[in-house]
Structures are given as C-alpha cells and as structure tokens.
Chain A
C-alpha cells in the first residue's frame, strides 16, 4: 500500500514535470519547424548563399534560438521545456547508429582511435602544463582539462564532483567550452573549405577539434552528410574514452593527496562514469549490419535523427545567454581557448597530411 502511494506521488511528479514542460517544448518544436523550413527555402531559392554559409537546419535552429533568448528573452513559463537538449541530441546519436555498419566503423577504427586517444590525453597534459601560468584552482584546471579534451559538458559534469569543483567552476568551464564551440561552429566549416578538406577529413577534424558533442555534430552536418557521419564516429570514439580521461584528470588533480588517490576504486570509477547510451548506438549499428533495417527504414530513421537534432539544437540556442558568457571572466577562457586552438591546429595538420582518408 505504502509502495503504491509512493509510486503515485512519483508518477504525479513526472506527469507534473511533463505538463510544465509543454509550453517550452511547443516553442522548441516551432523553432525546429522554422529551421527545417528555412533550410529547404535556402536550398531551393538561394543555393549559392546556402553553399557558401552552410546554414542547415541545425545551425538555423541554434541561431533562431539564440536570437530569441538574447533579444526578447524567454518567459519563465517556457523554461522547464528547454531542459531536454542533451536527451534529444543523445537520442539523435543513438538513431545515427542506423547509418553505419560494423564494417564502416572498423574501416575508420584503429588509426582513428589511436589519434583520438592521443589527442585526448595530450590535451589534458597541455592544460595542466599551461595552467601554471594562470591564476586558478586545481579543481577549475581539472574541469577545463576534462571539458576541453573530451565532450565538453558531460565531461565537466563527470569530473566536477570528483575534483571537488564548486558549481560556479563547473558553470564557468561549460560557458568557456560553449563560447569556444560557438566560434568554431561558425568558422570551422569555412576554414575547412579554405583548406580544401574532404568530407571525411573535415568530419575527423571537428570530431577532435571541437569540444562539445552537439557542436561537433552540428559543424560536421553543416559541411555535409558524410562529414556529419564521420564526425559522429569520432564523437563516439571520444565518448567511449570519457571515464578513462576523467579518471586521469582526477588523479592529476589529487596527486598531492596520496590518501585520496589511493582510495579511488579505479574499475568502479570507470564503470560508474561509463556513458551507457553508447551501447544503444552500437546496437543500432549491429541491427543495421545484420540487415534488420531496409533502405526506406534507414531513410525514415535519418529523418527522425534530423528532427531530434533540430529540436535539441533549438533548445541549446534558447538557453544560450551571451550575458552568462560575458560574466565568465578571462583567465579560464584564455587558457581554454589556447588549449582548444592548439589542439584544433595540430588536429587539422594531422587530418590533412597524415591520416589515410
């Protein structure tokens, strides 16, 4: 009886949450529809402009959202519906699995994974080496190192509590990552064109050079369908390594505290932080490899994926406040941008001249 009552209270709170989210979700859907329509309109009527600016539905959804948030603002009644960007973009990534086969993953596989692994750990080392020149706490340096090496926000959230970072430091790191990503999102596609990168090269470059997962996919898809797929593979490669890199960062931050480092159960730490949604992505890849999806079904799944991304990115745009970014201060931003820029330049050279695409 008591259990039933607890269950009712819990289900009521979930339904209440859902009802509260509806107004915001309606706005998100409207923006996603406008972005989809906008891409179709540009493609049909201003093809040259579309090809030069690469303003696809994802970039348009972010731009529309940011314009609304930073000009007229968003009423508080809409806020609860804007919290689902991560769920929507991660769901898009799971569905993206139907676009790959096991053979395509293996083909990209070994060399790319070595490249990704070196890039991630080198970024952490570079951040800790450079941080001595800046005034900041160990915990902030740890958040920046994890955030700028792996997939931005998730890595920061996974690292923050483990290195005893304050909420403010985590928010600061996330703001820095998002500012860097926004600049990269709108400049990397043009740079890719300037450098004459192929679709695969560009996808691999942004997969390492841009930090936030959502922004990696947005930039890849802005460059083209195949670049988006390659960026997706690289992103998954990074995501899988998240618990290992976070563990490394935590060990570096706590290295002076030998009692704290020895008390960490490393295998449990990795298990706790493993991003299990990756498994659903792999199941989708395996199902497609086994021929469980027809061509039409893969196409339909692709459209569903586009909608997930459009909705997710509209939410991201609607929650991006320029004032928060301004308030983030300068030392962390300078360090983050230096690390991000060095990583992007080195990754560009490796992708362009060394990787076998």
Chain B
C-alpha cells in the first residue's frame, strides 16, 4: 500500500513539474507576443 502511494506521489510530482513548466512557457510566450506587438 505504501509502495503504491509513493508511486502515485511520484507520478503526481512529475505531472506537477511538467504543468509548472507549461505555465512558465505560456507566460513567456504571451510576454514575447506582446513584445512583438509593441516593438514591430
């Protein structure tokens, strides 16, 4: 049971890491698109 829980925790942690990275990508992408609109 503990082993199962730790595998689940590990999986959730990996998902959270990828999701956090995706949010950073979205923020950076929006900033750069705004920069493109202002600078062009």
Contact = CB atoms under 8 A, between A and B. Distances in A.
Given A158-B18, A161-B7, A161-B11, A276 B33 contact: no
A284 B12 CA distance: 29
Interface stretch (A45-53, A89-97, A103-111, A201-209): A89-97
B24 to A, nearest CB: 6
A217 to B, nearest CB: 14
A89 B2 CA distance: 38
Contacts, number: 78
Interface in B1-38: 7, 10-15, 18-19, 21-26, 28-30, 32-33, 35-37
A162 B18 CA distance: 14
A117 interface: no
A236 B7 CA distance: 29
Contact of A304 (B18, B19, B22, B36): B36
A287 B29 CA distance: 13
Nearest to A271: B15
A26 interface: no
Contact of A98 (B11, B14, B33): B33
A273 B11 CA distance: 10
Interface stretch (A15-23, A70-78, A291-299): A291-299
A317 to B, nearest CB: 20
Contacts of B18: 154, 157-158, 273, 275
Interface residues of A, number: 32
B35 A304 contact: yes
A280 to B, nearest CB: 4
Contacts of B30: 280
Contact of A300 (B14, B26, B29, B40): B40
Contact of B15 (A98, A272, A280, A294): A272
Interface in A334-353: none
**Dominant secondary structure of chain B at its interface with chain A:** helix
Nearest to B15: A272
B40 A296 contact: yes
A280 B29 contact: yes
Contact of B26 (A161, A272, A280, A287): A280
A95 B31 CA distance: 10
Interface in A136-167: 154, 157-158, 160-162, 164
Given A280-B30, A304-B32, A90 B22 contact: yes
Contacts of A90: 21-22, 25
Contacts of A294: 40
A164 B7 contact: yes
Interface of A: 86-87, 90-91, 94-95, 98, 154, 157-158, 160-162, 164, 272-273, 275-277, 279-280, 284, 287, 293-294, 296-297, 299-301, 304, 308
Closest 9 CB pairs of A and B: A94-B29, A161-B11, A300-B40, A301-B36, A297-B40, A90-B25, A277-B22, A280-B26, A296-B40
16 contacts: A86-B21, A87-B24, A90-B21, A95-B32, A95-B33, A98-B33, A158-B18, A161-B13, A272-B15, A276-B22, A276-B23, A280-B26, A294-B40, A296-B40, A300-B36, A301-B36
Interface of B: 7, 10-15, 18-19, 21-26, 28-30, 32-33, 35-37, 39-40
Given A91-B32, A279-B26, A280-B25, 9 more contacts: A87-B25, A95-B32, A273-B15, A275-B18, A280-B26, A293-B36, A300-B40, A301-B32, A304-B32
